[in-house]
Structure 1
Amino acid sequence: MRSRRLTALASSLLAGAVVLAACGSSGGGGSSNSAAIANPTGKLSGAPIKIGMYAPTNNAVFNTPDYVAAARAAVRGVNTRGGVNGRPLELVYCNPEFDPNKAAACARQLVSDGVIATVKSIAPQGGAQTVQIFEQAGIPQVGLGALVPAEYQASTSYLLDGGLNYPYAAALIGAQKEGKKKVYLVTTDNAPSGPFLAAMSGAAAKLGMQVVGQQKLPPTTADYAPLIAAIQRSGADSAMIALTEQGAVQTLRAADQSGLHLSWLMNSGNLKPNDYKEFSEDITKGIIHGSSVIPTSYADKNPQVKAMKADLDAEIAAGDKDAEPGKMFGTALLAWPSVNAIATLLKSAKTIDAAGLRAQLDAAKNLELGVVPPWTPSASVDKVNTRVSAPEVYLVKVKDGVPVLAYPDPVDVSKVLN
């Protein structure tokens, strides 16, 4: 039954268009300007169902245009396949930049705009205040990119991944599977760094691995040679690099230049496929990513991954360069199952609003989205971060410059983090 349903979905893909609204050009809470509703099949009708998104772009610190592109592609695909019982989805995007005040303003504006949910949103600054606004409004946040305790614990958070710790702990499991025994931990020097290092040290101990060193690097770090020298002196056979994309790239460049070749443990947001071109094969073959989403290279083997790739291809054809394969991997792709989960559950909801969607999310069991493990949104697998409901993570390696599954089945990270 499942294979017939997935095949039918994949075969129904056509080039489509997304309904998009912009929540102010700077994300400061300006009035929304809805684009014209594109209706490629001529069969969509009724008021658009608004879903919101906030994710930083166009700033000097942290940018996620790939998140936005993946969400646009997913909405485009849903509308091409008939929308939600004939009604179109509309994506309302707001840019919080890297500013807690703008993040809160985005939240208030999206509530005012009448969104019934948010998808794959992230606020690197101001997450606690932002999630509180949505919780008070009763608006579910599907696939939220949780960073702070309030986001992991809010009743309206429906997380499609385990947040910050889970993909890195999965990469540790991957290193252990490859026989690695000594790991060096590297992260950015910020508020979450202490708890993160403690969690990774605990996970390493449960896996029988020794932590031989650790560093917190300032965000302004420019010279990574001292870090590489410290890793070499430690005798590590693996290193966890929990840095920004720029920091990860510079770390691996320095390792390449020094001839340090070991296992590099990362989440699926540290590097983009385009970044692999920067390094020798000796470096790329040692990369182990933890990813909550099956990479698009698996499209020939999985109908839902094929559907996701087709939606991204349609987004590229519409002129969105941020959806290109070299820029799209892992964490950003969670926007696609987030949108499709909402569309699927709304089709049988008693009311097409936030309350109706939350009722469906709370009742759903083992929801099959294809590109992530079966999901029970109301499950809780973490005693502290109580809204973590998806403990399984895929291990991804790099082959010929492309992310590929290292193993067909995901690993259950809760066994080493709890």
Structure 2
Amino acid sequence: MKRKRTLAAVAALAVACALAGCADDDPGSAGSGGDITVAFIGSTESQVYSFPESSDAAKARFAAVNDAGGVNGRKINFISCNDKADPNEAAACGRKAAQAKAVAVIGGISAAGDSLTSALESAKIVYTGNRPLSPGELHSSVAFPLVGGGSSTAGGAGLYAVDTLKCRSIYVIDGDVPGNRAVAASFKAGVKAASGKEPRETVTPATSSDYAPAAAAAAGAGADCVYFAISVPEMPKAIPAFRRALPGATLITSSGNLPGPIIKALGADAEGFVLSDSQIPVTTTGNEYLDRFHAEMTKYTPSATQSPFALSSWMGADLLVKVMTGAGGDVDAASVLDAYRKLGSVEGHGVIGDFSFSDKGPLSDTPRLFNLKYTVFKVVNGVPTLAGAAQFGDAKPALEA
């Protein structure tokens, strides 16, 4: 559920300072006395991406920690900033986090990740919990994503389309937004790595009222599988046209592109959709860690959508709490960054694949992609559903091609 967050520069800074106890000394030097300030920065409402639930998820995790006594007795002061998918706003959010002495920033989805990571790197503030899209998020020394985001999810889907679905004529619908273009490129790389062939594609406007021409183009190409790299609001406009033009085709996208409300709106047109993600479906039952995510969201942010994006940010917040608790002594930006740099293996709790933070990720050109695991599932009776136990594939062959 969208909520407007007015973040005029003076007002937001005043609020942040009032909450965090800003002083005139260096950012990040809060010391061991009062509350620990943690920020969220992402595209919570914009014309490109709107995922307020990522901020809500971090808020819920920290509220639960505070109710349990805080981090070694210190409460977490949570502040949130909407970057509005705008580079200038993202940079301003980063500066505000530093001025508020935030020890770390939890991310979600940002269409302005380059500007954001540049600001956080200058302030030496950890950035985690995000789903990386931009070059900055894939290269910045302060970026510690728990999942590969669009890169591993889409690259893995490309491998899966060829090796498991046995697609032979694959078509890509690519929304003309930088994040979507990057996701489409990863999917195409996966297809090419598995088949040696480049799939055909149609690039559509960022927003469109008519997807019939794109669907006709895919049908004319004899597509048996279609991958969608378009923004979430475009999905209910696009999918019916493709179901009519290609009734027998397998439709594929990332799970974040098909959240529960969109699945419900599409009805029968969503059935059988193949979804890829770095995480198991949020609708999965029987996983204690996932159950805790749902319980905290329900208790502390009950109106928020419990989406895959919310889960990523919640997991980032949860790991941050563990890092801060184990750090001991002063908890400030410098000590948190040092702790993350020394952090080794990270448990995925069956929700994401286990992985390890190392000096560099396994790919030389995207050194901050530490976790390249992905999983695939389907929409069954209106619910994203795993076929048995979660199985995580490795998207590295797609991304290193």
How many angstroms apart in 1 are the aligned matches of 2:364 and 2:267?
A: 42
Tell me the alpha carbon deviations over residues 61-110 of structure 1, each in whole angstroms, 9 at most, x when there is no partner: 42111211211222222223332122222221012223222211111111
- Aligned to 1:409, which of 384, 391, 400? 391
- Aligned to 2:334, which of 355, 380, 395? 355
When structure 1 is superposed on structure 2, of 382-391 and 26-35 the one drifting more is 26-35
Q: Which residue of 1 aligns with 2:120?
A: 134
When structure 1 is superposed on structure 2, of 264-273 and 45-54 the one drifting more is 45-54
Letter paired with 1:124? A
- Aligned to 2:51, which of 53, 60, 64? 64
Q: Which has the higher contact order (CA 8 A, sep 6+)?
A: 2
Structure 1 residue 298 corresponds to structure 2 residue 278? no
SS in 2 for 1:359: helix
Q: Is the 8 A contact 1:27 1:95 kept in 2?
A: no
**In the TM superposition, what is the alpha-carbon distance from 1:47 to its structure 2 partner?**
2.1
Structure 2's unaligned 5+ residue stretches are 21-31
Letter paired with 2:241? A
Q: Is the 8 A contact 1:349 1:360 kept in 2?
A: yes
Q: Which residue of 2 aligns with 1:247?
A: 234
When structure 1 is superposed on structure 2, of 197-206 and 359-368 the one drifting more is 197-206
How many angstroms apart in 2 are the aligned matches of 1:28 and 1:36?
A: 15
- Aligned to 1:156, which of 142, 155, 165? 142
Q: How does 1:224-243 map to 2 (within 5 A)?
A: 224-243=211-230
Structure 1 residue 396 corresponds to structure 2 residue 377? yes
Letter paired with 1:315? Y
How many angstroms apart in 1 are the aligned matches of 2:201 and 2:47?
A: 27
Letter paired with 1:155? S
When structure 1 is superposed on structure 2, of 380-389 and 168-177 the one drifting more is 168-177
Letter paired with 1:377? F
Q: How does 1:308-327 map to 2 (within 5 A)?
A: 308-316=293-301, 320-322=302-304, 327=305
- Residues 383, 311 of structure 1: CA spacing in aligned structure 2 closer, same or farther, 3 A cutoff? same
When structure 1 is superposed on structure 2, of 128-137 and 257-266 the one drifting more is 257-266
Q: Is the 8 A contact 2:87 2:114 kept in 1?
A: no
How many angstroms apart in 2 are the aligned matches of 1:50 and 1:369?
A: 26
Q: Is the 8 A contact 2:267 2:382 kept in 1?
A: no
SS in 1 for 2:201: strand
Letter paired with 1:341? L
How many angstroms apart in 1 are the aligned matches of 2:42 and 2:130?
A: 10
When structure 1 is superposed on structure 2, of 368-377 and 149-158 the one drifting more is 368-377
Q: How does 1:17-166 map to 2 (within 5 A)?
A: 25-26=6-7, 28=9, 30-33=12-15, 47-125=34-112, 127-166=113-152
How many angstroms apart in 1 are the aligned matches of 2:14 and 2:394?
A: 41
How many angstroms apart in 2 are the aligned matches of 1:196 and 1:303?
A: 31
Q: Is the 8 A contact 1:391 1:412 kept in 2?
A: yes
Letter paired with 2:143? S
The two structures have a TM-score, normalised by structure 2, of 0.86
Determine what percentage of the aligned residue pairs are the same residue. 24
- Residues 289, 164 of structure 1: CA spacing in aligned structure 2 closer, same or farther, 3 A cutoff? same
**In the TM superposition, what is the alpha-carbon distance from 1:377 to its structure 2 partner?**
2.6
The two structures have a TM-score, normalised by structure 1, of 0.83
Q: Is the 8 A contact 2:282 2:308 kept in 1?
A: no
- Residues 28, 286 of structure 1: CA spacing in aligned structure 2 closer, same or farther, 3 A cutoff? farther
Structure 1's unaligned 5+ residue stretches are 1-22, 38-44
Tell me the alpha carbon deviations over residues 125-156 of structure 1, each in whole angstroms, 9 at most, x when there is no partner: 3x322211111111110123332212211110
Q: Is the 8 A contact 1:291 1:331 kept in 2?
A: no
Structure 1 residue 374 corresponds to structure 2 residue 354? yes
Tell me the alpha carbon deviations over residues 281-324 of structure 1, each in whole angstroms, 9 at most, x when there is no partner: 3x333312222222232242x211111111111124xxx412xx
Structure 1 residue 189 corresponds to structure 2 residue 176? yes
- Residues 259, 164 of structure 1: CA spacing in aligned structure 2 closer, same or farther, 3 A cutoff? closer
Q: Is the 8 A contact 1:172 1:265 kept in 2?
A: no
Letter paired with 2:261? N
Q: Tell me the matched-pair count.
A: 380
How many angstroms apart in 2 are the aligned matches of 1:413 and 1:82?
A: 40
Q: Which residue of 1 aligns with 2:164?
A: 177
- Aligned to 2:313, which of 324, 335, 339? 335
Letter paired with 1:48? D
Tell me the alpha carbon deviations over residues 364-416 of structure 1, each in whole angstroms, 9 at most, x when there is no partner: 22222523222323351221111110110121321222222245121111122
**In the TM superposition, what is the alpha-carbon distance from 1:349 to its structure 2 partner?**
0.8
SS in 1 for 2:356: coil
Letter paired with 2:13? S
Q: Is the 8 A contact 1:79 1:88 kept in 2?
A: yes
Q: Which residue of 1 aligns with 2:366?
A: 385
